[in-house]
A and B are shown apart, each in its own frame.
Chain A
Amino acid sequence: MSDLALFYLDLIEEAQLDNIHLIANSLGGWLAAEILIRDRSRFRGLVQLAPAGIRVKGVPCGDNFIWGPEEAIRNLYHDQAFADRILSLTPTEAQMDIMLRNRFTVAKFGWQPRWFNPDLEKWLHRIKLPSLVIWGDDDKIMPPANAALWQQRLPDARLVMIKDCGHLPHVEQAPIVARHVLTFLEGVAS
């Protein structure tokens, strides 16, 4: 994760990007935090959607490595109509390859300890940026109990819990999430 964070910081420097708003989900949320604790100078704000990376002791995350393919998709959503739609599609071989490669890569980062870096939480105070944390109240992968800890540790964070929503709020409750994000971005700009 450390390598990946520094790689992105190099990339951003090389591309001379500035005033970046970082919006991240899940494993990406973990990566966003790893980037920002190292160097936040080119960033304006952070939106975290059910990020991995820290844990509340005694509150386990879902074991998506042991779930079967259908179970894994169903457990992503509160509203099973989303899962049904995805399950009705047959992925191409190229898509299967990408999914398999993703699975290998996320295992490398997150198998042990599962989905968190024990050293991350204590440095979250370095992310001195306006932040918005969004969480589905029926997230079966990243426990909703983690949301409060993020809000507590980030220096300037607002928390929005979304009702009837799983691990992908931007998919499952897109209009609500979009409204919250737009309001947040306007607030940061003003």
Chain B
Amino acid sequence: MKLVSFHLMPYRPLDLAEAAKHRSPWVVLPNSLYDPIKGAEEYAAHIDALVYAEELGFDAIGVNEHHQTAYGLMPAPNLIASALIQRTKKVQIAILGRALPLTNNPIYIAEEFAMLDNLSKGRIIAGFVRGIGSEYHSSGVNPYFSHERFHEAHDLIIRAWTEPGPFAFDGDHFNLKYVNLWPRPYQTPHPPVWIPSQGSSETVSWAADPKRKYPFLVTFSSADLVARYHNAYRDQARQHGYEASAGQLGWACPIYVAETDERARAEAGRAVETLFNDFLRQTFEMLMPPGYTSMASMKNFISSRAALRGVKMTADALIDSGTALIGSPKTVLAGIERMRERTGFGILVALLQFGILSDELTRRNMDLFAAEVMPRLRD
């Protein structure tokens, strides 16, 4: 199994009580609540944790892009990736991902990934995402065209990476007289492309297409949902006439390991609750701007929402539903093995720091995961 140590880089010093007075920690949370002195320490600590993951033997370390939120301090994940390249030697660096529709010129994304791929001598994994709903509020980009812009930007980037330039690109959203990347990507034909997603059927089908066969990562979902999306991907692959490999199915999940289940819950319970209840807290209108998903998906979301409204998630519920793996090495391994039996997935994207989890506990979690869990996952 391929193991990725992934980080969101949350702003942990956030005054949660103060933040709770606002609509959300996304888009509208006053940035007077950000203290640069503390924030700079956060960057240092979070980067140290990712660098340490190479030492522990992870195959890849991962970062991602979110804007105007205390949930994650990486509006420009490639800047962090660039720093990581300088401090690591062998580990792959996964940017999971860049939000393609949010930019007005996707060539910049193609260029930056190509630069990182050269700087790292081919260690880059390029994640492509649409950005979550809130990012259409913070960027001003029209969510109605999100899908179209994603697909067109994707096509442009892949062509820019693979076709001899200069050539002209003639799209509905992006028009460029000259596409001619300097540098070209280091890897041939280009860095591997991964698709992190909440699991829309449209995205599953698109990623599984034989022309792409992009690894599909399901993020922050209950074990049942993860299994459903993985198997939906498998079904799509079969309809296309091939069998999906383990390396095409990924699961991104908060993980915490301690000596016993009780100790793990005591140490990480509050932190995982802050991830879901404080840092991820968004309204329907923020998550689902009009046009971001199809009308049918949005209606489903509305009907499931009545039940969710105002309900805080407890650590117990998150653990019981398999949304987070928190427990002894045996418990965590069992959770991973169970999913492996259900779906045959082969990429584990482990979020080993989440919410307010401290540096000390993060380090202990990483050590124990590497010592007790990782060896059992090597095929």
Q: Which residues of A contact B (CB under 8 A)?
A: 65-68, 96-97, 100-101, 103-104, 106-108, 111-112, 114
Q: A65-B137, A112-B140 are in contact. Are A100 and B285 (CB under 8 A)?
A: no
Complex partner residue of A107 from B27, B140, B290, B302, CB under 8 angstroms:
B290
A107 to B142, CA, bound (A): 7
A100 to B285, CA, bound (A): 12
Structural contact, A65 and B285, CB atoms closer than 8 A:
yes
Structural contact, A108 and B144, CB atoms closer than 8 A:
yes
- Pairs across A and B, CB under 8 Å, 19 listed: A65-B137, A65-B285, A65-B289, A68-B285, A96-B302, A97-B299, A101-B295, A104-B290, A104-B291, A106-B290, A107-B142, A107-B143, A107-B289, A108-B142, A108-B290, A111-B144, A111-B290, A112-B140, A112-B141
Structural contact, A68 and B295, CB atoms closer than 8 A:
no
Interface: B175 (CB within 8 A): no
Q: How far is the CB of A158 from chain B (nearest CB, A)?
A: 35
Q: How far is the CB of B173 from chain A (nearest CB, A)?
A: 12
Interface: B1 (CB within 8 A): no
A103 to B144, CA, bound (A): 10
Q: Which residues of B contact A (CB under 8 A)?
A: 23, 27-28, 136-137, 140-144, 283-286, 289-291, 295, 298-299, 302
| SS of A interface (majority) | helix
Complex partner residue of A111 from B23, B142, B302, CB under 8 angstroms:
B142
A114 to B143, CA, bound (A): 13
Structural contact, A108 and B286, CB atoms closer than 8 A:
no
A104 to B298, CA, bound (A): 11
Structural contact, A104 and B144, CB atoms closer than 8 A:
yes
Chain A residue at minimum C-beta to C-beta distance from B286: A66
Structural contact, A66 and B295, CB atoms closer than 8 A:
no
Structural contact, A104 and B295, CB atoms closer than 8 A:
yes
Chain B residue at minimum C-beta to C-beta distance from A71: B285
Chain A residue at minimum C-beta to C-beta distance from B28: A66
Structural contact, A107 and B299, CB atoms closer than 8 A:
no
Structural contact, A103 and B290, CB atoms closer than 8 A:
yes
A106 to B142, CA, bound (A): 11
A66 to B22, CA, bound (A): 13
Chain B residue at minimum C-beta to C-beta distance from A104: B290
* Residues of chain B contacted by A97 (CB below 8 angstroms): 299
Structural contact, B285 and A67, CB atoms closer than 8 A:
yes
A68 to B24, CA, bound (A): 12
Q: How far is the CB of B141 from chain A (nearest CB, A)?
A: 7
* Residues of chain A contacted by B143 (CB below 8 angstroms): 107, 111
A100 to B303, CA, bound (A): 13
Structural contact, B290 and A112, CB atoms closer than 8 A:
no
Q: How far is the CB of A169 from chain B (nearest CB, A)?
A: 26
* Residues of chain A contacted by B291 (CB below 8 angstroms): 104, 107-108
A165 to B164, CA, bound (A): 62
Structural contact, A112 and B298, CB atoms closer than 8 A:
no
A114 to B140, CA, bound (A): 9
Q: How far is the CB of A100 from chain B (nearest CB, A)?
A: 6
A68 to B295, CA, bound (A): 18
* Residues of chain A contacted by B27 (CB below 8 angstroms): 66
Structural contact, B283 and A68, CB atoms closer than 8 A:
yes
Given A68-B284, A108-B144, 6 new contacts (CB under 8 A): A65-B290, A66-B286, A67-B285, A107-B291, A111-B289, A112-B142
Q: How far is the CB of A106 from chain B (nearest CB, A)?
A: 8
Structural contact, B142 and A100, CB atoms closer than 8 A:
no
A97 to B295, CA, bound (A): 9
Q: How far is the CB of B131 from chain A (nearest CB, A)?
A: 14
Chain B residue at minimum C-beta to C-beta distance from A110: B142
* Residues of chain A contacted by B140 (CB below 8 angstroms): 111-112, 114
* Residues of chain A contacted by B299 (CB below 8 angstroms): 97, 100
Chain A residue at minimum C-beta to C-beta distance from B137: A66
Chain A residue at minimum C-beta to C-beta distance from B145: A108
Q: How far is the CB of A15 from chain B (nearest CB, A)?
A: 30
* Residues of chain A contacted by B144 (CB below 8 angstroms): 104, 107-108, 111
A142 to B279, CA, bound (A): 32
* Residues of chain A contacted by B295 (CB below 8 angstroms): 100-101, 104
A106 to B141, CA, bound (A): 14
* Residues of chain B contacted by A101 (CB below 8 angstroms): 295
